[in-house]
Structure formats: C-alpha cells, structure tokens
Structure 1
C-alpha cells in the first residue's frame, strides 16, 4: 500500500470540469444536476482502497451533515475494473450501503472525468462552491490507516465552514493521500508517474 499524494492542478476559483456519469443502475447524473445550494463535494474513491475504507463511515456521516447545510456530495470511481473487479459497479452498490453513503456514487468507465480533475489518488477531495468553482482541494484530515490519529475530517470541515460562511477559497492545503487511481493500460495521464 504505497501512499500517493494528489497532483491536483485546478486552482481555487477555477470552474470545475462538467461531467455526466452513470450510477450502477445506469441512471445518469451531471455535475449541474448535483450542485448544492451552497456547494458540492466531489470525491474520487473506490471500494478496495484501504485509505477510502478507513474514512468511509465518517465520509457518509459528514455528507449527511453537509446536506443539511446545503452542500451536496458525489463520489466517483474511475478504477480499471478488469484488473480490480472488487471496484465494479455492482460492488459499488454494496459498498455505499455498508457505509451509509446516501449520495450518488458514479462510475467513470472511460477515466476521462478523473483526468479532467487531475485526480491521482483515492480518496481525492474537491469542494466546489455553489457555482461549481473549486473552493478547496485537499485531504479529509491527518488520519491514515496506519496511524493512531482520530478520523475527524478536520481539514474538510474547516473548508466547508469557510464555504458556507462566504469566505474566500482555500489556497494552502495538504494534498489528499491514498492509493493511486488504477488506470487502464495505456490510459495513464501525463501527470501520472
């Protein structure tokens, strides 16, 4: 389990790339459909990554809290399911149920959405404002699967509070850390490696 830092290149205030992706049932969602009244959290995740599993329950709880504040959540899996069948859409449904994810969990089969966000790892967090512009890209908190720090979502909570209180986008952040996105052979983006 090698830790891979995010390589995000979207800058605070940049318009986030639009997308339309299906959930495991084939229902399509666009970013425009998902924008919350105050903002939207876009997360790149997968089912098998220990870093995602480590945070999954707390992510579900925080998403429920955020929804009450007008901030929506969407999760996207972009992994190669041929090599990593545990990340298949069928298993995404079970994962979401297990961890109380009551928000869309979408499948990026082409991996183009992950590339457009310059997502590099799972989990990778992008908090957008109400207009779909990047407000924060960074880690959930300092906890990791192999440290003893409490999972409190501190970094993300600070960003959300600043967003809903009308503050400025957060420029200095700690990048998200996790397992690298499992790119299909030959589909690795230029920023990977």
Structure 2
C-alpha cells in the first residue's frame, strides 16, 4: 500500500459529498474514499512508484478542480493501494453518527472546532488537554469572542462547497470524466 488512512465517514451522511465522490471523483463505492486528516505514508512505495511524477503530470495536464485537492489526488492516484485504518484513528465530529468509544486521534474539521463552537462532538478531549497548556485562557477567549455571525459564516462554507461541487460537475476535466479514457492510478 502507498499509505494508510481512514475512510471519510462524512460522505456517507452528506448528499453533497456523495454527489462529489460519484460525479466528480468517480470513486465507487463511496466508502473507499479516505480522509487525509490522519495519514501514514509508505515513503519507499511513494519513491518506487514515482508518485510525485504522476501527481505533477495529472496536475499539469488536467488542472482538476476539487473541493479537497490533496485528498482528491491521494484517493485517485492511490485508489487501490490504500490501507484503511479503523475509524477510531480519525474520529471527526459528525452530527449524523454517535461519538466513537475510545478514539485514537480526533480530527476537528470544517466548522467542528471546539475553540469556535460549544458542544462540539469530542470537544471534551480538546478541553481536557487545553487545560494543561499555557494557551487555555487564550482558547477560552477565542471561543467567547467567536460570534454567532462568525459561526453562521463558518457554516455557510458548506453552502459554498455545494455551489463549487455543482460547478466542478460541469468542468470538462473531472476525475470521473478523465478516468473514462486514461488511467489516473499509480501502476
């Protein structure tokens, strides 16, 4: 395998991301799609398989537009050479699923940041550790100073992502379209 990472569980519960994976990426089933929040590289395989050359070739030739550029390239180029870690190694707050017991690593993504939003899933882990740092008061102030307007703007990012997905689907070179005539996977 080229690397190890966890499946991106967000896509299973968000129709917008299901559309992105299916129509823009062309990765099926969507459960194969990984999240780059936690990643362990096999650097020997990256060198031996000339990953960087493949990456630059695809980027230069097609200029793919993505909502998740690094993650899209990793998923596409290494699609069948990814070791899927257990979900506890990339526990992301997700309003659609219950909190995992004993998460190994918590990945606060998008608008699920406990220093901006109260009551974030897994937030208690963050605050337990933050209390032991010299930054605790600063982080609490950041939470207090982050306004409802700031929170609305952060959540609006999801709407902008939806608009971008609709635009990407119309692009002449999406991963899904290019894969119909050229292999993007590493050999």
TM-score normalised to structure 1 length: 0.22
- Bigger radius of gyration among the two: 2
Higher strand share: 1
TM-score normalised to structure 2 length: 0.23
Higher helix share: 2
